[in-house]
Amino acid sequence: MNKLPFIPLIAYVLGSIPFGLLIVLSTRGGDVRRSGSGNIGATNVTRTAGAVAGILTFILDAAKGYFPVWLAARWSHGSARWLTAAAVCVVLGHMFPVWLGFHGGKGVATSVGAFIPICGKAVIVAVVLWVIVVFFWRYVSLGSITAAAAMPILVYLLYAPGHAPPTVLSFGTMLISVLVIWKHRENALRILDGTESRITPKE
């Protein structure tokens, strides 16, 4: 039986697992969507339930992004088309999970995990860029927006240096980048208004 057509479904279902919501529910007994920014991602989980819960959320969200893309690579013998399909669908699952009425997270950690099997070098550079932006400007959201915006360029340059990546991969990377930035649109407006939460030394 050809297993490849199941890759998008597997990726979406895995992406839909709301780890942040489940972790806060199991540790604090509350709904993280009713706290802070209302997001189920690692940043809001950290603010709501502490650093350990936030780190665990990030790791699990990244892991669920990694696994379907890794699986697609094994099943398709590294086909860029299927890797891209898995990456896009797992991020869509995280952002629009069927279990939560299609209201999910912003896709940063899941995107990190999804791109590790595709272009680990691009992920490393994007993470470094995120760290630099957050260190100097103290906005986690600005770091995420910047890294997402840079990702299509990084994948283009680092996927196969000297050669353009497959068109489907470039398109998929751009789509994920746009989705992550779009999910941060309210953060961007708050940054412009000066009302976005900053990381402080006490945090």
Alpha helices in the chain, H assignment, sequence order: 7-15, 19-27, 42-49, 51-76, 80-95, 108-137, 140-158, 167-183, 185-193
Query: How many of the other CB atoms lie within 10 Å of CB of 138?
Result: 16
**Is 149 a residue whose pLDDT tops 70?**
yes
pLDDT computed for residue 201 by the predictor: 58
Instruction: Answer for the pair 181, 145: CB distance below 8 angstroms, yes or no.
Output: yes
**Is 11 a residue whose pLDDT tops 70?**
yes
Interval 85-119: pLDDT, tens: 999 999 999 999 999 999 999 999 999 999 999 99
Examine residue 79 and state whether it is found in any structural domain, yes or no: yes
pLDDT computed for residue 186 by the predictor: 95
Query: How many of the other CB atoms lie within 10 Å of CB of 120?
Result: 11
**Is 203 a residue whose pLDDT tops 70?**
no
Examine residue 139 and state whether it is found in any structural domain, yes or no: yes
**Is 75 a residue whose pLDDT tops 70?**
yes
Q: Which of 31, 134, 113 is nearest to 64 (CA)?
A: 113
Section 64-68 average pLDDT = 98
pLDDT computed for residue 36 by the predictor: 84
Q: Which residues contact 108 (CB under 8 A, 6 or more apart)?
A: 41, 42, 144, 147, 148, 180
Examine residue 158 and state whether it is found in any structural domain, yes or no: yes
Encode 30-45: b = buried (16+ Cβ within 10 Å), e = exposed: eebbebebebbbbbbb
Cα distance between residue 109 and residue 2, in whole Å: 30
Determine which of 33-37, 120-124, 127-131 has the lowest per-residue pLDDT on average: 33-37
Examine residue 203 and state whether it is found in any structural domain, yes or no: no
Examine residue 81 and state whether it is found in any structural domain, yes or no: yes
Domain that holds residue 118: 4-193
- Token pair, residue 156, equals 């283009």
Interval 48-63: pLDDT, tens: 999 999 999 999 999 9
Examine residue 202 and state whether it is found in any structural domain, yes or no: no
To the nearest 10°, report the CA torsion of 8, 10, 13, 15: -80
pLDDT computed for residue 25 by the predictor: 93
Examine residue 29 and state whether it is found in any structural domain, yes or no: yes
Mean pLDDT computed over every residue of the chain:
95
User: For the chain, how many structural domains are there in total?
Assistant: 1
**Is 1 a residue whose pLDDT tops 80?**
no
35 confidence band (pLDDT: 50, 70, 90) = confident
Cα distance between residue 59 and residue 42, in whole Å: 9
Examine residue 71 and state whether it is found in any structural domain, yes or no: yes
pLDDT computed for residue 199 by the predictor: 84
